[in-house]
Structure formats: C-alpha cells, structure tokens
Homo-oligomer: A and B are copies of this chain.
Amino acid sequence: MRKKTIKDVAKEANVSIATVSRILNQTSKGYSEKTKKHVLETMEKMGYSPNAVARSLISRQTRTIGVLFPEISGMVSSEMLHGIEAVANTFGHSVIVCNTNSDQAKTLKYLRILEEKQVEGVIFTSKVLTKEYEKMVRQMNVPFVVLASESEVEDVPHVKVDDELASYEATKFLIEHGHKHIGMLSGNGDDPIAGKPRIDGFKRALKEAKLPCRDTQIAQNNGFYFENGHLAFSKLMASHPETTAVFASSDELAMSAVSAALEYGKRVPDDLSIIGYDNTKLAKMAVPKLTVVSQELESLGRKAAEMLYREIHTGERSPSLTAQHNIVKRDSVKPLSS
C-alpha cells in the first residue's frame, strides 16, 4: 500500500498540485472557497491526512530535538539519555542521538544535519561547547543546553555538578576515614571540565588537611573508561606504594582500580579504599559495591531537557544550573586501622 501524496489528491480532485499545496499551507490566495471545499472533501474521502513532514513545513515545528554525545555506548551517556528521552516523550517529541566520537568535524557535521532537520533544540553533552561551534549555534537559532559540561558560547546555559567541590568532598571523605596517603586516578589535566577541576578539588582537600600532595599522586588518563585505568593505577602504585586510598574520578576508573588492586594483592577496602565518581549502575554492580560521589546522571539529563523545553515553549532562557551532588556510602571505603 503506497502512501497517498498531495499528487494523488491533486489528480483525484482534478486540480493542480500547487493548489493542493496552497490549501494545505493555508495561503489565502490562489483558490476559490469552492475549490478549497472540494479539495478538502477529496482528501477526506481518500483518507489522506497531511503527514508530519508536511505539517512541519507549515508550522515549522518538527517536534524533534537532537542530543550529541562524545561516546554513546557508555553508562554515563545512556543514563543521561534516559532522562532526556523521558522528558522529550512527555512533550510528544522525538530524540535524535548523535555520536560525535569527540571529533570536531563529526560534531559540526552532526550540527549541520540537525539544522537541516530543523530540530527544535539541541542538548550538547559532556564536552565544552567551544567557540568553534558558535557560528553554527547562531545559524541554527534554536535553544541549546550544555549537559555535564560548559559553554564558551554566550547565552547557552549549562547544567552540571560542581566538579571541583564534588572532588574536594570525595577526597575529604577519604581523609575523614583516617587516610593520609591518597592517590587519584584522574582524566586529563587539560580537560577543563572533568579533568582540571577534579584535580583541583583533590589538591585543595589534601592541602587543607596538610597531607602530602605531589603531582605523582595524580595518575592522569586520556579518558574516563575502564580501559584507561589499569596503567594509571600501576604508575600510582609504583611511585606511591604507601597509598591507602584512591579517589577515582569516574566509576569506570574505580572499577579498573578495584580490578588492578587485586593484581597487586591488595583487597578493597581492607588494604585499599576506593571512592568513585558518577554513581552509574556500575557502582552497585561492583564487588565491593562502590562508595561514590553521585552525579545522578538521569536526573541531570531530565534537568537539561526541562531547561531546553522551557526555552522552546516560552522563549525564556534558563539560567545555568549547578546540580547537587552527594556521597553515596557503600562498601569500598573503610576507616584506616592504625
């Protein structure tokens, strides 16, 4: 069963396609009331209803938003997507997902695709919306929200936790449990969002407590994935075998540390305490279950979508939002026995 088009309607009603198009577009000129009535009756008889694409063209509402992820197959992305999709769905909207592989060219390509598709808004996740994207953002002229990162483009709000503070508190939590030799598995110090601020928070807590704080205590990685953590953990243990506690700046890095610790004959938490960062489902699945700083990613996703829809519906831009974080105590941190 081929779908009926305005061509079929035109043929059946014995008018030109342009006339049908004008009627659908509610142009007030170019056809008589009699023709309009005849065409509408023909449509009804044929069971033709203008499709969403046609209606989008008329109303300029595509009921679609786009979401860009640097990596789509991680827990962090999928939990944020879950929150975004839930909100979009309540508005009868669809979500186009774009996997940018953290690549600028691919990101631009995707923004162009989203522009072409006339999405009504864009959520840009986990990467800084840099000046490189400004021209495109202006050109698209639809609401943008940056999720779990920040924006260099003026007037684009973000929603994220305070990474420095969250990391400070995670480290402090270890200190309060009596640990004095604390290491960190971090992202890249050049990463202005999830890298440097988390390192800064870690250092601030150590300095405040007058504990040793050398650069070698911070094992940097190029990513926050499980695969990244192993080597970093080995480096940390090689330079600081005295370490009794580790702040891992993602859940995956924490899982990696748990796994690597065993290879060093260290049991978690008896010989080594580990605190993670994110609170994805992984944290509950780990053995031992991970104590973490929680970002509540699904809720972050919901908030970003709510900010976006507020602007879509009212034209009012939401201010940037610093979301709450909190420490979720499970089984991977233990007081240091003296």
Which A positions have Cβ atoms within 8 angstroms of B? 1-3, 5, 16-18, 21-22, 25, 27, 29-30, 51-54, 56-57, 60, 62-64, 66, 72-75, 77-79, 81-82, 85-86, 89, 92, 94-99, 113-118, 138-139, 141, 226, 252, 255-256, 258-259, 262, 281-282, 284-287, 289, 298
B73 in contact with A141 (CB, 8 Å): no
Which chain B residue lies CB-closest to A79? B73
Within the assembled complex, what's the spacing in Å between the Cα atoms of A271 and B116? 59
Q: Hey, which chain B residues are within 8 Å of A72, CB to CB?
A: 78, 81-82, 85
A16 in contact with B27 (CB, 8 Å): yes
Which chain B residue lies CB-closest to A54? B57
In-complex Cβ contact of A53 among B57, B97, B98, B226 (8 A):
B57
Q: Hey, which chain B residues are within 8 Å of A85, CB to CB?
A: 72, 97-99
Q: Hey, which chain B residues are within 8 Å of A96, CB to CB?
A: 64, 94-97
Within the assembled complex, what's the spacing in Å between the Cα atoms of A244 and B193? 47
Q: Hey, which chain B residues are within 8 Å of A286, CB to CB?
A: 285, 287
Pairs A–B under 8 Å by Cβ, sample size 24? A1-B141, A17-B22, A17-B27, A18-B18, A18-B29, A21-B21, A51-B115, A53-B53, A53-B57, A53-B117, A57-B57, A73-B79, A73-B81, A73-B82, A73-B281, A75-B78, A82-B99, A85-B99, A86-B99, A92-B113, A94-B96, A96-B97, A256-B285, A258-B287
Residue with the highest number of chain B CB atoms closer than 10 Å, among A79, A81, A252, A289 = A81
Q: Hey, which chain B residues are within 8 Å of A298, CB to CB?
A: 73
Closest 10 CB pairs of A and B: A52-B116, A73-B82, A78-B78, A18-B22, A255-B285, A94-B96, A73-B78, A18-B30, A85-B99, A53-B56
Q: Hey, which chain B residues are within 8 Å of A141, CB to CB?
A: 1-3
Q: Hey, which chain B residues are within 8 Å of A113, CB to CB?
A: 63, 92, 94
Q: How far is the CB of A70 from chain B (nearest CB, A)?
A: 12
Within the assembled complex, what's the spacing in Å between the Cα atoms of A118 and B73? 26
Identical chains bound together, number:
2
A89 in contact with B78 (CB, 8 Å): no
Within the assembled complex, what's the spacing in Å between the Cα atoms of A22 and B30? 12
Within the assembled complex, what's the spacing in Å between the Cα atoms of A116 and B61? 13
Within the assembled complex, what's the spacing in Å between the Cα atoms of A18 and B24? 11
Q: Hey, which chain B residues are within 8 Å of A139, CB to CB?
A: 1
B51 in contact with A118 (CB, 8 Å): yes
B138 in contact with A1 (CB, 8 Å): yes
Within the assembled complex, what's the spacing in Å between the Cα atoms of A53 and B281? 39
Q: How far is the CB of A62 from chain B (nearest CB, A)?
A: 7
Q: Hey, which chain B residues are within 8 Å of A95, CB to CB?
A: 96-97
Q: Hey, which chain B residues are within 8 Å of A285, CB to CB?
A: 226, 252, 255-256, 259, 282, 286
> Given A25-B18, A30-B18, A117 and B99 touching (CB < 8 A)?
no
Q: How far is the CB of A169 from chain B (nearest CB, A)?
A: 25
Q: How far is the CB of A308 from chain B (nearest CB, A)?
A: 16
Q: How far is the CB of A314 from chain B (nearest CB, A)?
A: 17
Within the assembled complex, what's the spacing in Å between the Cα atoms of A75 and B226? 14
Which chain B residue lies CB-closest to A49? B116
Within the assembled complex, what's the spacing in Å between the Cα atoms of A314 and B204? 61
Within the assembled complex, what's the spacing in Å between the Cα atoms of A75 and B252? 13
Within the assembled complex, what's the spacing in Å between the Cα atoms of A226 and B66? 30
